[in-house]
A and B are shown apart, each in its own frame.
Chain A
Amino acid sequence: MSKGIIIASAERYSGKSSLAVGIGLELIDRGFKIGYMKPVGSYPVRIDQRKVDEDAYYIANSLGIDEELIPDLSPFFLNWDTLNRYMRKRPSLVEEKIRACYERISQNADLVLIEGAQNFVHGKILGLSAVEVAAILEAGVLLLDTFNEELSVDRALSAAEYFSDRFLGVILNWVPERRMSFAENLFKRFLEAEGIRMLGAIPADRILRSITVGELAASLNGNLICARDKAEELVENMMVGAMGQEQALRLFRKQANKVVITGGDRPDIQLAALETPTKSLILTGGHIPTPIVVGQAEELGVPIIVVDYDTATAVEKVDQAISQQKVHHPKKLERIRKYVKELIDVDTILDIMDLPPRMSG
């Protein structure tokens, strides 16, 4: 019996990495040995001269995967330059390579979590789309779907048909609080009547889509000028300040844990932001703010990021950074572990994989 589970999705940024860490850690808690790989990586980094996907490396670390296995974690990459290369000449021996990596990873593991590429057709050019990886490694496929009122049900039905015998079931992610009962009841009953397992629903939790102040500063090439010790704080929302002080105050009260983007020459808006729950200020136009504002921000522990961009560009960059944030934060990790423990049907997953329950050791 195979030990592999592919976590696949229909859209990118669906939370596959988070779910892999969450399920992995839960199983480790239950006394299992866990392997992990991501056959098609996106963002290569070099660790001791060994090329590895940035996310995959972090997740492997969180799961305590042996350093020796780093070169096996993400054997292929699809990005701008490799894609051009592969379009001129398809690589050979892909199957053999994947199988060899998987064998080394699975050697000492009870179960291997395999993170799918961006969506479940991605990787086709290499012969490594989800359905192909599943066939090569004889792995099961789990669909992680970002909840959509109209689309989720069709995606689940299609995935079940497409992956056929290898399909394990569906997990919904980012379900609005108010729709949780819909997901857990009507939606689940419907799928089960169709013979599809519904293995859990994770609520929309802004913390899971948050980004640290430090990451924000880095993605904006910005300069953190105060409260540097708060660079690890998580930002969930963004608001733009370009109005009068009173209107700004009213607006800023409507959202907590936010970053406020405004001109460096708008001390009135900066003060309004500091009056409300704000995690960071991004000041545009390269203006250094007035010392009196910096003093207050320092005292309140709100980091100020000074950037050279104009406000419109900064908004675009922050938006991008928030949508591509990573699971790399203890607070997010803690959250996802909690959701897996409480809301994901891990017992059924173990049952399907023919792994009898163990007591943690």
Chain B
Amino acid sequence: MGDRSLRSNDLLGRAGNFFEPKSVAVIGASSNPSKVGHAILRNILDSGYKGRVFPVNPHSKEILGVKAQASVSEIPVPVDLCVIVIPARAVPGVLDECGSLGVPFCVVISAGFKETGFEGLKLEREIIEIARKHGMRVLGPNCLGFINTNLPINASFSRIMPPTGKVGMISQSGAICTSLIDWARSSSCGFSKLISLGNSCDLTESDFVEMLAVDKDTRVISLYVEGVVDGRRFMEALSFAAEKKPVIVYKSGKTLAGAKAASSHTGSLAGSQAAYQAACERSGAIMVDSLAELFDLSRAFALMDPPKGNKIAILTNAGGPGIITADACEKAGLYLAGLERKTINRLKQVLPPAAGLHNPVDVLGDAGAQRYTEALEALVSDEGVDALLLILTPQAMTDAVGTARGVVNVFSSTDKPIICSFMGRDSLSEAVNVLQNGGVLNIDYPDHAADILGGMYARTVLTKRPVSVPPRYSVDFERVRAVILQCIEKGMTQLDLESCVEILGAYGVPTAAYHLSESAEEAVEFAEAIGYPVAMKIVSPQVLHKTDIGGVVLDISSSEKVEQTFEQLISRTRRHMPDAEILGVAVQKMVPRGREIIVGMTRDPQFGPLLMVGFGGIYVEAFKDTSFRIAPVSFTEAASMLRELKAFSLLEGIRGEKRADIESVEDVVLRVSQLACDHPEILEMDINPLMVYNAGDGCVCVDVRMTIGR
């Protein structure tokens, strides 16, 4: 890890060189306008780039009026950046030449690498080798390139340049970049940097997140990803950036159909949606659910600081949109502010008697620019209002352009965010232009505007979070290590109950005492020793869902019953699963009923151990009331995992029921978190049910399953 952070620090120091090259070579530049090599050169020249440009093509003397070089070696000055647009097979040779000349950065636009199969994959590996050998950093291959609007330079094959602005965009899809640029031009949204990642063979999303984090022209970092190269590193990069500015992540491939499509596109296991969610939560990045939200929230952060709180005022000239927006606010985690008396008095003075003076404030359909502006001023100066949503519907008396001018004025004199929703398009385009030119965000639909404000507030919450670190318990690490190695040695993938219980015990997770008996006599002997009542369960590696075959019997209170139950369990298993290997019957001290919780862990291919808690027993499959975090978790995270459950109130105790021992569950979560981090061989784990008792009485793990592997 030390090595990696060094490398990235080194990269951060040189980020300026990547985005601001003093000289650029385009290898594979072409005079044929239908070639990408032509488009790239033309784009660089047209973008107003002030540095030196060298087309490289052994077959041309001059391209687009610039003298062409036969090879990189013949360029008379040191080259800061090479953009490579030649057939894939020729890329390694050229890259090696660039490396030998000390070129620090290359962008490989060419396709034909891992996306095409094994031969392509080998070529891509070769590129990585060459880059490492020379200490050269490579963007791509199979990408659109990048744009820096501040320099400016358009080192991509996007024909158009976006306006200069504050959004730093990183996208795994080049095509999405081109569409965002197009949208941006019509909505006066500007970008600082735009990077298309392509196959991310060397420079990855994490590198660019860090580079944009320290980029003074970037105010908000916006990411579109289908999967990431290294989940843990991604989290570190997000945390680093989110400390400095808002980071918004849109991850596609969430559904079965989407994951199928993403798999054939990127060729990597994306990791679970829950893991991405948890990774963003941990790092302080904001995760969005649609491309529209990614774009609009980026615009919002580019123009405004997030609100200080979640008290919103809605100003409208119609009742319907006010109600729609109020609904949307609540869904987005926002509250309608209760207005101060002095605000209401002020509104009374500027609004007609029929107007709605309480939030949402309705200026009525005949409101002109002045009435709107005065009401807006009154609301902005209310101490209890953190942000404003201004809605305008085009009615007969509406002065949209005048209102827009008024809004721009008020906006420029306050630090509270104001989002407008001028509802319509045809008659409102001029007014919307006024808003956009004045730096005011306009969103077509008012409910979507509320979502965007909700996204901004999420940033406020994230920046106010207390910092807490994962605890370290004193545990018997070596014992667990020995059990795991022994099981791996035997070729086991699913651990037997004995090993699971031993492992949990070594990490201080309370488990119910049990004995694996091979005969009815043995079962009776143990039951007598621990005292009645007892529970009995069939133990067989093939029986995964014991209750399905009647493999669990509870509350057995005599030796005769134990004997009977033993026989019953064996014959039930034989009947349902004649081929199952029966290891015996576990006799367990009957634990009293409590509230049943599940604590689970699955090792995500990208992010590592993903912890889960939920309501357990047979309910886990019915309600799917679960929450996730990436291990290791801190006290605060363990606490919030439980509090995120919809049925959390069941633990707090409702209708006279006592509060459950919530702290003991948090303790188990923290211990499982440490176990998962200490022993990477544990791939999956389910403690289900964890029986939780009333406050002070603790909890106990009744059943557990683990899958191991290397």
Contact = CB atoms under 8 A, between A and B. Distances in A.
Interface stretch (B110-118, B215-223, B240-248, B442-450): B110-118
Contact of B269 (A206, A245, A292): A245
A30 interface: no
Nearest to B272: A246
B269 A253 contact: no
B633 interface: no
B546 to A, nearest CB: 16
Report which residue of B119, B263, B272 has the largest number of chain A beta carbons within 10 angstroms of its beta carbon. Answer: B263
B118 A226 contact: yes
B259 A268 contact: yes
Interface string A281-301: 000000000111111101100
Interface string A274-317: 01110000000000001111111011000000000000000000
In terms of DSSP, what is the predominant structure of the interface of chain B? Answer: mixed
Interface residues of A, number: 34
Interface string B481-522: 000000000110110000000000000000000000000000
Nearest to A258: B493
B114 A250 contact: no
Interface in B458-499: 490-491, 493-494
B114 A293 contact: no
A63 interface: no
B583 interface: yes
B269 A271 contact: yes
Interface string B238-276: 000000000000000000100110111111111010000
Nearest to B610: A246
A291 B683 CA distance: 29
Interface string A218-238: 000000001000000000000
Interface in A151-175: none
A215 to B, nearest CB: 22
A213 to B, nearest CB: 18
A271 B268 contact: yes
B121 interface: yes
B230 interface: no
A256 B491 contact: yes
Contacts of A294: 117-118
Contacts of A271: 263, 267-269
A266 interface: yes
A254 interface: yes
A360 B119 CA distance: 52
A292 B264 contact: yes
B269 A295 contact: no
B269 A254 contact: no
Contacts of B259: 244-245, 268
Contacts of B707: 250, 253-254
A275 B118 contact: no
A294 B122 CA distance: 12
B684 interface: yes
A301 to B, nearest CB: 11
A71 interface: no
A272 interface: yes
A268 B491 contact: no
A280 B262 CA distance: 22
Contacts of B263: 245, 267-268, 270-271, 290, 293
A176 interface: yes
Interface in B92-145: 114-121
Given A253-B709, A271-B267, A299-B121, A292 B114 contact: yes
Contacts of B683: 253
A88 interface: no
Contacts of A255: 493
B495 to A, nearest CB: 11
A292 B142 CA distance: 13
A275 to B, nearest CB: 5
Nearest to B582: A149
A134 B264 CA distance: 62
A295 B118 CA distance: 4
A339 B114 CA distance: 46
A46 interface: no
A249 interface: yes
A178 interface: yes
Contacts of A149: 582
Contacts of B494: 254
Report which residue of A226, A244, A271 has the largest number of chain B beta carbons within 10 angstroms of its beta carbon. Answer: A271
B260 A267 contact: yes
In terms of DSSP, what is the predominant structure of the interface of chain A? Answer: helix
Given A266-B260, A267-B263, A277-B709, A295 B120 contact: yes
A321 B114 CA distance: 34
B533 interface: no
A253 B116 contact: no
B581 interface: yes
A250 B706 CA distance: 11
A296 B121 contact: yes
A232 B604 CA distance: 31
Contacts of A299: 118, 121
Given A246-B272, A268-B259, A293-B264, A256 B117 contact: no
A171 B374 CA distance: 99
Report which residue of B117, B266, B683 has the largest number of chain A beta carbons within 10 angstroms of its beta carbon. Answer: B117
Interface string A86-105: 00000000000000000000
A256 B605 contact: no
A244 B82 CA distance: 42
Given A276-B709, A277-B709, A299-B121, A292 B267 contact: yes
B565 interface: no
Given A245-B259, A255-B493, A295 B709 contact: no
A206 B490 CA distance: 12
Contact of B121 (A266, A275, A295): A295
A256 B488 CA distance: 11
A139 to B, nearest CB: 34
A290 B581 contact: no
B602 interface: yes
Given A244-B256, A254-B493, A268-B259, A293 B267 contact: yes
Interface in B33-70: none
A324 to B, nearest CB: 17
A226 B118 CA distance: 9
Nearest to B113: A295
Nearest to B493: A254
Interface string A132-143: 000000000000
A250 B684 contact: yes
A272 B269 contact: yes
A293 B256 CA distance: 18
B341 to A, nearest CB: 54
A292 B261 CA distance: 12
Nearest to B270: A245
A13 to B, nearest CB: 14
A319 B493 CA distance: 21
Given A267-B260, A276-B709, A253 B493 contact: yes
Contacts of A266: 260
Contacts of B260: 265-268
A250 B682 CA distance: 12
26 contacts: A149-B582, A176-B581, A178-B583, A226-B118, A244-B259, A245-B256, A245-B263, A245-B270, A246-B602, A250-B684, A250-B707, A253-B493, A254-B493, A254-B494, A254-B707, A266-B260, A267-B260, A270-B263, A275-B605, A277-B709, A292-B115, A292-B265, A294-B118, A295-B117, A296-B121, A298-B118
When A and B form their complex, which 10 residue pairs have the shortest distance between CB atoms, in order from nearest?
A: A292-B267, A291-B117, A267-B263, A298-B118, A295-B121, A290-B264, A268-B263, A267-B264, A295-B118, A295-B117
Given A250-B602, A266-B260, 10 more contacts: A245-B259, A249-B269, A256-B493, A265-B260, A268-B256, A268-B260, A268-B263, A270-B263, A292-B267, A295-B121
Interface of B: 114-121, 256, 259-260, 262-270, 272, 490-491, 493-494, 581-583, 602, 605, 683-684, 707, 709
